[in-house]
Structures are given as C-alpha cells and as structure tokens.
C-alpha cells in the first residue's frame, strides 16, 4: 500500500515532463514517483542526497534520467528531470563545484598595473541548445497561435523578446534552459493528487494543476463558508486560486454534513482567468 505522502511539483518539473522523448519514458518517471511515495529516503545508490544546497535536495535514478526532489514530514516535492549527464554542474540541478581556494598571500604574484579597460560590443546572445520546432511546441502543449513567433526565434534574446504569454515563455525556457536548483526551489508549488495525473497531463487529458496554497491563503479558503468573504491582493497573489479552493471547501462541507451538494456559480472577467480556472 502506498503511503499517503502529499505530492507537490514545480513548474520546471512539469516542463521537463512534457519535453521527455516518449510516453514510455514518461511512464517510467510516473512509476518512479510511485516508488518515492513508498520511501523517499536516500539509499546511497538509486537515491542520493546532493551537495551544496541550503535545502536538502535528492536525486533518483530513472533509466537514462534522474529525478530531482526534496521531501519532508508527509510530503514530497518534485523539482526536475534531467538526463544522467546533465544536472551535475553549478548551473543546474545537482552537485555544486567546490569553491576555488586562493593561494597564500606570500605565493601570490605581485599586482599588475592594469590599463583602462577597452570598451567592447555587447556579448552575443546565447544560442538555443536546439531549434524550436512545431513538434517541440506541440509536445510542450503551446497554443498553436504562438507557434510562428517562437519557431522564428534563433537565440536566447530573441526568445525572451517573443510576444507570447508569460506562462508559454516560461515553459519553453524551462524546457530549453534548465534552471539552477535555487531558482527552482523558489517557484510556486502545484498539487499532484496522484502520480497517474502526470501521464494524463503529458497526453493532454489534464490541462493543468491547482496551485498549492500557503498557510494564510488556506485559512481564507477554509473560513466559514456560510458567509461572504472578501479577499484583497495584487496581481498574481492567488485570489482566483483561493476562490477555487473555497468552492471545494463548500462542497466538502456539504458532504461531511450529508447535505445535498449546492450549485455554485463561479464567475470571472477575463479570458485568461477563464482558461486558468478551467
């Protein structure tokens, strides 16, 4: 029987999942996630703790890939998926290179009188690690209307300046340029109800995942549902997500009280929020 560990994941993990080369590989990742639910503790072989991070980070072998994760009491957080030869340098998920140790002062060469720096042109933009193709964008579930502008991008600067929604750009960037672990840890958490949802998401049967609330947001969502609640916050602060959780709380309360499920009207005012809420 699988232990009841709460599964969370980062957007970078979701982008890595979509970028996997085949359904077979994705299914292998899903099965390894089920193994983590049974026991996430490192064993020194298949599961190892990585060095050089403020928060404990671990990796799990998965064929030619490695699954990076962290965990605590009752929860597991999925961070990323990398090929075995990736993810082990200072720019990505994995081991940190040891810091350079300076030579003793008495052995250091005398200071050199430097000339005034010569001004140079700005460095060239970083080339894309692979071309952006229609097939790649379809695999990443990017809306078809955004394909032409992304396919035309030839380097990192061009991609960053592409006129596409922020969530689309983030997904493509995460797939092409893996983020350093410290940046991944700062991303918001999304709730993964069961490992099988990973396959549904990759196959397009599941459009997205619900954002995990922080403790303050959870209090608002669970507050007495018999009365109105007013939630204030700036753009991107999670108001719409709190509202969705509050709908769930209303339905859960009715079930616990063995009452008929109420009809809930959920409204919003922009097409972007409609898509997000779906």
Q: Give φ, ψ of 36 to 5 degrees.
A: -60, -40
pLDDT top residue among 4 and 273: 273
Q: Are strands 6-9 and 75-83 parallel, antiparallel or unpaired?
A: parallel
Reading the block at residue 6, the tokens are 């709460």
Domain residue limits, the chain: 6-93+178-202, 123-176, 215-277
Buried b (16+ CB within 10 A) or exposed e, 71-83: beeeebbbbbbbe
Q: Which residues pair with 192 in a beta bridge?
A: 7
Percent of the chain whose pLDDT exceeds 70: 83
Q: Provide the whole-model pTM.
A: 0.70
Name which residue leads in pLDDT, 29 or 99: 29
Give the pLDDT band of residue 120 (cuts 50, 70, 90): low
Using the predicted structure, report yes or no on whether residue 129 has a pLDDT greater than 50.
Answer: yes
The pLDDT of residue 278 is 73
CA 116 vs CA 109, 113, 119, 125: distances in Å: 20, 10, 9, 26
pLDDT at 150: 95
pLDDT tens string 157-203: 999 999 998 888 988 998 898 888 888 988 889 999 889 999 999 99
The pLDDT assigned to 59 comes to: 93
pLDDT, residue 18, reads 93
Q: Across residues 209-219, what is the average pLDDT?
A: 83
Q: What is the pLDDT of residue 116?
A: 59
Q: Which residues pair with 7 in a beta bridge?
A: 76, 192
According to the model, what pLDDT value does residue 225 have? 75
The answer to whether 165 and 146 have CB atoms below 8 angstroms apart is yes
CA distance 148 to 145: 7
What architecture is the 6-93+178-202 domain classified under in CATH?
2-Layer Sandwich (3.30)
Q: How many CB atoms lie within 10 A of CB 93?
A: 28
Percent of the chain that is helix, strand, coil (3-state, to 5): 35, 15, 50
- Is 24's pLDDT higher than 70? yes
Q: Is the pLDDT of residue 25 over 60?
A: yes
Residue 90 has pLDDT above 70, yes or no: no
Q: What gap in Å lies between CA 158 and CA 249, rounded to an integer?
A: 44
- pLDDT for the residue numbered 109: 47
- The lowest-confidence range among 43-52, 59-68, 220-229 is 220-229
């Amino acid at each position: 029987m699988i232990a009841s560990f709460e599964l969370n994941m980062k957007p970078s993990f979701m982008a890595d999942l979509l970028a996997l080369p085949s359904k077979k590989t994705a299914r292998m990742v899903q099965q390894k996630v089920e193994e983590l639910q049974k026991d996430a503790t490192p064993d020194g072989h298949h599961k190892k703790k990585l060095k050089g991070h403020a928060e404990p980070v671990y990796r799990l072998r998965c064929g030619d890939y490695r699954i990076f994760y962290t965990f605590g009491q009752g929860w597991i957080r999925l961070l990323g998926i990398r090929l075995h030869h990736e993810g082990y340098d200072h720019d990505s998920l994995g081991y940190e290179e040891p810091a350079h140790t300076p030579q003793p002062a008495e052995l250091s060469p005398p200071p050199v009188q430097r000339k005034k720096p010569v001004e140079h042109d700005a460095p060239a933009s970083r080339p894309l690690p692979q071309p952006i193709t229609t097939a790649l964008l379809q695999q990443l579930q990017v809306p078809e209307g955004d394909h032409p502008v992304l396919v035309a991008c030839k380097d990192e600067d061009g991609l960053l300046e592409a006129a596409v929604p922020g969530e689309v750009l983030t997904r493509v960037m995460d797939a092409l340029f893996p983020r350093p672990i410290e940046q991944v840890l700062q991303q918001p958490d999304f709730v993964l109800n069961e490992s099988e949802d990973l396959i549904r998401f990759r196959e397009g049967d599941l459009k997205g995942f619900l954002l995990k609330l922080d403790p303050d947001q959870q209090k608002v969502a669970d507050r007495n549902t018999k009365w109105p609640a007013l939630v204030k916050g700036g753009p991107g602060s999670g108001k719409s997500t709190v509202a969705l959780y509050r709908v769930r709380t209303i339905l859960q309360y009715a079930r616990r009280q063995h009452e008929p499920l109420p009809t809930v009207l959920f409204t919003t005012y922009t097409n972007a929020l409609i898509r997000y809420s779906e």
